[in-house]
Amino acid sequence: MSSSEIIKCDLCDYQFKVFARQEEELCDREYYPITRYYPLPEENAHLVRNYICDTCYNDIGNVVKISLIEAGEKYLNEVESRKTKKLTEYLKYLQEIDRDYQEVKIYCDKLKSINSILELDKQTIKDLSSMYSNKYPYSTGTYYLEHAQDIEKITKHNMKKISDWEKEYDIEISKYPKGYGSWDVVSKEEFKNVLLDSEIENMNTRKIVQLVNSI
């Protein structure tokens, strides 16, 4: 039976002549009318898995063998195109490895050429610090690079966090200049410029200039 009026032999595609029958189908505990189709009895169709015609049925061993051989030969004939496809993928992977190699080499050479990480430009710091960019292999260095830059400024270049400079001169900046925050590490000269562009608690511009000149 079939809900379509086209029923074919599953092995040779021969299309059976059919007849329709009104039946009922149980759905949600209710019966609904449905038209189902069956091969005419004189077609002598055999229901094996799906319908197969009488000719195929009587020669089924041979029909199945031919079907298997056809599938095997199709597979064998496609060997070259399968190899070509895999080779293309393989070459693509090799290109990716080469591209990564070139990229990592540029960063690695740059790192070897500098005396201090403070010489690295902002974009390089960003690329080397990112755990997700995959531009450079991950290490503890990746994790600490940004902090190391700030700490190195403090330990080797007499620079301080802006908040520490504020403490040292006993002032409180209420509004930092654009691009600056209390955690930025700056030299004393840079701090003076920050002060000139800041708003400070209990200080007018004249007092700020006085303070800057006294530092």
Which residues of this chain interact with Zn ion, rule CB under 5 A? 9, 11-12, 14, 53, 56
Comparing CB distances to Zn ion, the nearer of 12 and 66 is: 12
List helix spans (H) across 24-59: 54-58
Q: Are 194 and 176 in contact (CB under 8 A)?
A: yes
Q: What's the distance, Cα to Cα, between the start and end of the chain in Å?
A: 98
The distance of closest approach from Cβ of residue 3 to Zn ion in the complex, given in angstroms and rounded to an integer, is 21
The distance of closest approach from Cβ of residue 1 to Zn ion in the complex, given in angstroms and rounded to an integer, is 18
The distance of closest approach from Cβ of residue 66 to Zn ion in the complex, given in angstroms and rounded to an integer, is 12
Q: Are 177 and 151 in contact (CB under 8 A)?
A: no
The distance of closest approach from Cβ of residue 15 to Zn ion in the complex, given in angstroms and rounded to an integer, is 10
Complete DSSP assignment for 85-133: HHHHHHHHHHHHHHHHHHHHHHHHHHHHH-SSGGGS-HHHHHHHH-SSS
Q: Are 165 and 137 in contact (CB under 8 A)?
A: no
Comparing CB distances to Zn ion, the nearer of 11 and 162 is: 11
Comparing CB distances to Zn ion, the nearer of 25 and 54 is: 54
The distance of closest approach from Cβ of residue 63 to Zn ion in the complex, given in angstroms and rounded to an integer, is 7
The distance of closest approach from Cβ of residue 50 to Zn ion in the complex, given in angstroms and rounded to an integer, is 11
Q: Which amino acid is at 70?
A: E
Comparing CB distances to Zn ion, the nearer of 45 and 120 is: 45
Q: Are 7 and 37 in contact (CB under 8 A)?
A: yes
Comparing CB distances to Zn ion, the nearer of 12 and 91 is: 12
Q: Which residue has the tokens 């690079």?
A: 145
Comparing CB distances to Zn ion, the nearer of 50 and 116 is: 50
Beta strands in the chain (DSSP E): 18-27, 30-39, 46-47, 51-52, 160-161, 173-175, 185-186, 199-200
